[in-house]
Amino acid sequence: MEKKSSKSKIKPQTGNFVIVTFAEDMEQAREYEALLKNDDIPVEIHENTENIESSKSLILMVPDEYLDEAHVIIESQNAYDDFYEFAMDDDDENLGVEFFDEDF
């Protein structure tokens, strides 16, 4: 009688890896990697040696069956980052100040 080990938590090999996004530098690639791994999505980081569709230097790849979910996660984070940068933009500090002029 053969027993299966309950200690083994290795995920089965998934399908082919496909490009999910590009990163400008290793810091950005690691941020994307952490986001995806947080949602249990396998991810690989590769150098863009052939300049595939981008001048960015790193490629993030996920198994084909996780591609849609990975896109949603990355795009959600990008939208959050864009909103945060807009809200904290120094150029907008004086926006609306003209309405509070005493001469008005």
**pLDDT in the model for residue 55:** 66
**pLDDT in the model for residue 49:** 76
Domains, the chain, with CATH or none:
17-88 (3.30.70.1530)
Cβ burial, residue 55 (10 Å; 0-12/13-18/19+) = exposed
**pLDDT in the model for residue 36:** 96
Residue 78 in contact with residue 35, Cβ under 8 Å?
Answer: no
Residue 66 in contact with residue 37, Cβ under 8 Å?
Answer: no
**pLDDT in the model for residue 41:** 95
CA dihedral 70, 21, 42, 44 (to 10 degrees): 180
Residues of the chain with pLDDT under 70: 1-15, 51-55, 79-104
